[in-house]
A and B are shown apart, each in its own frame.
Chain A
Amino acid sequence: MTTRIACVLAVVLAGPALTGRATAAAQDSQFGIRALGTPGRWESVRSRSTGGAFAPFDPLSPLTEAPLADVPQLTATAMESASYRDAEVSGTTSALRATRFPLLNVAGRVNRRLAVGAGFTTYLDRSWDVTLRDSALLRGVLQRYTDEVTSDGSIADLRLAAAGRLSRRIALGAGLHLLAGSTRETAERRFDDTTFHTVQQLAEVRYSGVGVSGSLLLGVAPGLSVIGWARADNRLRATVADTTSAQTDLPRMAGGGMLFSPGPSVRFGGSVAWRGWARAGAGAFDTWSWSAGAEIGSARMPFRFGVRGGQLPFGPGPTAPTEFAAAAGSGRAFAQGRALFDVGVERLERRGGGLTERVWTALVGLTVRP
């Protein structure tokens, strides 16, 4: 049995990294093209299936650190998401698809009081491909051309976190975040008149930054917990060929949540978060987001559902685009509870600046406790 678990762990953890897609993003959006990117969701499949409501209390979701204090043993999780997205603007709908491996986390106990965790998740997704048909007057003649500008890659949030219980009711955690990633960007213009050679430029853009976070988990009453968290990231530096091309201030953010368990097989959760993205420059907004969800059933095969809503940090108009999502999912424990297979599905709608995005996302996660 141990051998089987080891194999599963190796495939789940090493596979995405070896295929180079480990740092790929959670979910793209057309709203992120004219900005830093699309922020990722720092949630495991379990949390995502509850609309994100359980994320602050989930030790395997890298949103907060304090819940790590309750990790009983070495645990690893990874997830995959496949999104099917319809982007509708000006009466034109584009059907887009993407598969990502947005999360990998490992956590375990160092001693009775201290637990640590490490892993990565998507901080900003920067994968998109825009084609444009246009014309320009060149040498006195109107020249028609097709532009294609692409970006493939993302910025990952590599987190080192530690947490400990100060008392039975209080747990405290802190994390150090290293932002790293790269995108392969291309800009191409093909003229109908082949006398003009094709414009083809490409660059590897590297990103770096750091951040810190902290969280406090309180057991208010039996079955009722609340959590508060805060995070501050400094600047995202973009370099092209060892030259800094841009430096962008990253947001401060804070949030909180509540988890209520009236019984062993019922849990309700809710959370709220504020992110100060307006620091990132023009076209960026501070955002609020909320979520509510529940998990019902035994730990062996629970049923989860939830909703979330809020704002997106980047958009073309004077106000932030909005989003609303509903999610559901389940899980299945096997190998005597040493492995958990989670699935979920999410329906998301984003609106703003004349663009409406509707997304179906299938989520698959595997958690292993060797």
Chain B
Amino acid sequence: MRARRAAWIGGVLLAAACVERVSAPGHCPSFCPSGQIEIVDTVLRDVISRDSTFRGYVTALQSPLLLAADLPGFADSRAIVRFNGFGQRFVLSAADTGAILGADSARLQLWVARRDSGAHNLTLAFYRLPITIDSTTTFTDLTGPFADSLVKRVNIDTLLARPGHKDTITGDSVVVDTINHVLALSLKFDTAAARYVGTDSGTVAYGVRVSADSFASIGITKRPLAWQWYLRVDSAGTVDSAGTPVARKPSSLGYAFASFVFDPPPPPLDSTLAVGGVPSARSILRIAFPHFIRDSSQIIRGTLMLVPAAPARGARSDSFVVEAHTVFTDVGAKSPIILDATRTDTAVIRVGTSDTVQIEVTNLLQFWASDTTRATTLVLRAREEATSFSLIRFYPSVAPAFRPALRITFVRRFPFGQP
């Protein structure tokens, strides 16, 4: 009896147990809500104004890459680097020093971060430069040293073709890092190429030119640049009873100065909107974001349309990414940009292209819609500024036929609460 009662109660509870499944395919319009999601797509041609370009944000000295290129008609660029030495004496032991008599050799560690895989006979030529090079040094200042002070030449293709990527005669070697896509060069400079001049405190400076059958353009990573001396030091009977000079391998040195010089200098800014180049140029666009979209709609896609005033310039392999950022506050050229991946939109620019560039700026527009106190200002810049000579110029808002435009797809407010 008790079992029957329990089964009966259990059956009732099971039948009445909480269940929920209310989703059903819509058969419209009869059995759908009267309100519909209404999408509007419009091109706003006159909302962008007060646009301008500024240059000098990242200079050659600040660039993470040293650009060496020989692109006739576009750019001749040469990397320059200086390593400070140890002075005239070297610490042999805790209590003794010895005069540095000279260097047997030196070794330069150098990473080629970017090169055109279509370039053949890619060759690096090293020139001894005055140790006075600094950020004010120009291409013209170094014309002489680059003409008559060649100390070493390395054909990278030849080196790569050797067994183990090593040249046992010159002592050069290369490691191909397929993960980071870099060539790690270790180059030996002999006594003549690496002169340790005590009166200069052992400071040396070199310039790098690049050549190839074509497309000679590389980027050398600054950070791993290192110089390793192999010194001869006068022991004077302290560490060697016979008083013969001793060999010493001190710790390797990082660069004291690294930059690049190039010719021709960047063309002056005009009314077009330039992005990229060295020193890097940025363009600032002010957008009059319509209130009816900003306040009462949901933006699902926004595209900034820019018409190039000329094909994008640069080395063939130097396609680059243009980023669109918004700013914390609009104070003109020095407007601090918001560096947030979720509020950054990008477009890839192919060198030589003259097609209209479309940058999806949905994230930015949604950000502005969510916070109406923000300045509706866009900054266009290259993703890695001053790491290539690539530059694109767009028509500004003063060119009525080709002015920048904003294409917005948005959804009007759904008519909630209406039967």
Contact = CB atoms under 8 A, between A and B. Distances in A.
A89 B27 contact: yes
A239 B27 CA distance: 27
A147 B37 contact: yes
Interface of B: 12-13, 15-35, 37, 39, 41, 298-301, 360, 362, 366, 407, 409, 411, 413-419
A248 B416 CA distance: 14
Which size class do A's interface residues fall under?
35 or more
Nearest to A204: B416
Contact of A355 (B31, B298, B362, B414): B31
12 contacts: A33-B31, A34-B32, A34-B34, A82-B18, A84-B19, A89-B27, A97-B20, A97-B21, A139-B407, A187-B414, A187-B416, A200-B298
A189 interface: yes
Nearest to B360: A195
Nearest to B412: A201
Contact of B30 (A128, A129, A355): A355
Give the secondary structure class of A's interface: strand
A128 B20 CA distance: 11
A353 B16 contact: no
A132 B22 contact: no
Contact of B35 (A94, A187, A238): A187
B419 to A, nearest CB: 5
Which 9 residue pairs of A and B lie closest in terms of their CB atoms, listed nearest first? A316-B30, A245-B417, A203-B416, A362-B15, A132-B26, A238-B417, A205-B417, A129-B23, A94-B24
Interface of A: 28, 30-31, 33-36, 80-82, 84, 87, 89-90, 92, 94-99, 127-133, 136, 138-139, 147-151, 185, 187, 189, 191, 195-201, 203, 205, 238-240, 245-246, 248, 280-281, 316, 343, 345, 353-355, 362-364
Contact of A99 (B12, B20, B414, B415): B20
Given A98-B19, A185-B417, A196-B301, 17 more contacts: A31-B31, A33-B32, A81-B16, A89-B31, A96-B24, A97-B20, A99-B19, A130-B33, A131-B25, A131-B26, A132-B28, A138-B41, A191-B300, A199-B298, A199-B300, A245-B418, A248-B419
B15 A196 contact: no
Contacts of A99: 16-20
Of the candidates A239, A353, A362, A364, the one having the most CB atoms from chain B within 10 angstroms of its own CB is: A362
Contacts of A94: 24-25
A246 B30 contact: no
A139 B27 CA distance: 27
A33 B21 contact: no
Contacts of B301: 195-197
A327 B18 CA distance: 21
A363 B300 CA distance: 45
A139 B34 CA distance: 26
Contacts of B360: 195
B298 A130 contact: no
A329 to B, nearest CB: 11
Contacts of A187: 35, 37, 414, 416
Contacts of A364: 12-13, 16
Nearest to B300: A197
B57 to A, nearest CB: 30
A139 B414 contact: no
Contacts of B415: 245
Given A203-B414, A362-B16, A353 B30 contact: yes
A64 B408 CA distance: 57
Contacts of A201: 298, 411, 413-414, 416
Nearest to B303: A139
Contacts of A92: 25, 27
Nearest to B14: A362
A89 B17 CA distance: 27
Given A97-B19, A99-B16, A343-B12, A130 B24 contact: yes
Nearest to A365: B16
Contacts of B22: 28, 96-98, 127-129, 150
A33 B20 CA distance: 17
B416 to A, nearest CB: 4
Contact of B33 (A33, A127, A197): A33
Contacts of A131: 23-26
A35 B125 CA distance: 81
Given A197-B300, A198-B300, A205-B417, A138 B39 contact: yes
B397 to A, nearest CB: 23
B10 to A, nearest CB: 12
Given A99-B16, A187-B35, A364-B12, A196 B30 contact: no
Nearest to A353: B30
B171 to A, nearest CB: 54
Of the candidates B13, B22, B25, the one having the most CB atoms from chain A within 10 angstroms of its own CB is: B22
A150 B24 CA distance: 10
A248 B417 CA distance: 11
A197 B362 contact: yes
A49 to B, nearest CB: 13
A82 B17 contact: yes
B416 A245 contact: yes
A225 to B, nearest CB: 31
Contact of A36 (B23, B35, B298, B419): B419
A147 B26 contact: yes
Contact of A240 (B19, B29, B32, B417): B417
A167 B37 CA distance: 60
Given A136-B39, A248-B419, A80 B30 contact: no
Of the candidates B19, B22, B34, B419, the one having the most CB atoms from chain A within 10 angstroms of its own CB is: B419
Contacts of B19: 82, 84, 97-99
Contacts of A95: 21
Contacts of B28: 132
Contacts of A31: 31
Contacts of A189: 37, 39, 411
B356 to A, nearest CB: 14
B300 A130 contact: no
A124 B360 CA distance: 45
A354 B24 contact: no
Contacts of B32: 33-34, 130, 132, 149
Contact of B24 (A129, A196, A245, A362): A129
B15 to A, nearest CB: 4
Contacts of A245: 415-418
Contacts of B39: 136, 138, 189, 199
Nearest to A133: B25
Contacts of B407: 139
Given A34-B32, A130-B24, A280 B419 contact: yes
A109 B12 CA distance: 32
A367 to B, nearest CB: 15
A31 B345 CA distance: 45
